[in-house]
Amino acid sequence: MANLSAGNIEQLNALIRECGHQARRMAAESFQVFEKGLEDYVTTVDRLLDEQLARGVTALFPTDDVITEENPNSQQAFANAQGRLWMIDPIDGTEDFIKGGSHYSVMVGLWERGVPQLGWIYAPVFDQLYFGGKQMGLFRLDGTLPQPTVTPLVPQEPASPSRGYCPVIIGDRDVRQYGEAIAQLIPEAQFSSLGSFGLKVMEVIQGRAGIYVYFNRRVKLWDTVGPVALAQAAGLVCCDLEGKPLEFTPEVVDTETLIHRQTIMIGWPVYVETLRSRLQQAVMQKQSR
């Protein structure tokens, strides 16, 4: 199981925050944007930080493999992985970053034997770093204070869903495709969204939403390993529309693209129990048309 020293954690925190500070500085300067695929973008900032994070993590953990979003060659390590894998997303929420938004993050996750173990999500604009896992616990480093301070992060469960209250985080693409069908079956649902996958999960952990749903099967391991490690440590349910636990092994993840084959729901147990079957019905109805 994951076993990091206090020194390792401090060094990793510093590395992630420095890369985040660099991203924020570079956001105010000129940078280039390229299209990797349909509605899938990368910037010169992503590429620079990808290399920087990979070097830093490798220096800290030289016997571990490192997979990064912007280095396709590194991704081959997943198919035959035996030990620990570090997953790096230099800018999660690149579209938000490109538009000058606030809700992008730097993310690192630790995978071991098919299980997300630890995660780091850093929001540069807010100078807040969330990190931890089941064995470590959950923590927040707040850099806005006179001295950067690490404190335990206590998950906040929201009120149960009701006719007047049912906050659901859902991405813009899923709203366009499934929002109308979901609203018909769950009229009490109140949709919201923001850029980073990781920061969406943090909204649920901190009780500002009851569930995060992701149905369009574009998300990859570097998007999910860190956030799911934090979500599971917070006591959230991480499953697909059928209620099956999310899995992170080559049998259920595309080994070439590292895309999840499962749909994704991350939420408080009462929200998953109350909404899952209706969400499943909404998606199936839309897909059958």
Identify the structural domains of the chain with CATH numbers, from first to last: 6-152 (3.30.540.10), 167-287 (3.40.190.80)
Q: Which pTM was predicted?
A: 0.95
> Tens of pLDDT along 103-133?
999 999 999 999 999 999 999 999 999 999 9
> Tens of pLDDT along 153-194?
999 999 999 999 999 999 999 999 999 999 999 999 999 999
> Could you identify the residue written with the tokens 């749903």?
213
> Tens of pLDDT along 252-276?
999 999 999 999 999 999 999 999 9
pLDDT of 1 above 70: no
Q: Report how far residue 158's alpha carbon sits from residue 267's, in angstroms, rounded to the nearest whole number.
A: 10
- Report residue 213 as tokens: 């749903």
Among 272, 256, 262, residue whose Cα is nearest residue 76:
256
Alpha-carbon dihedral sign for residues 257, 200, 24, 43: positive
pLDDT of 288 above 80: no
- Report residue 269 as tokens: 């147990």
Which residues touch 23 (CB under 8 Å, ≥6 apart)? Answer: 45, 49, 90, 91, 97, 104, 106, 124
Q: Report how far residue 171's alpha carbon sits from residue 194's, in angstroms, rounded to the nearest whole number.
A: 7
Q: Check: CB of residue 213 under 8 Å from CB of residue 169.
A: yes
Neighbours of 140 (CB within 10 A): 18
pLDDT at 57: 98
- Report residue 204 as tokens: 């649920």
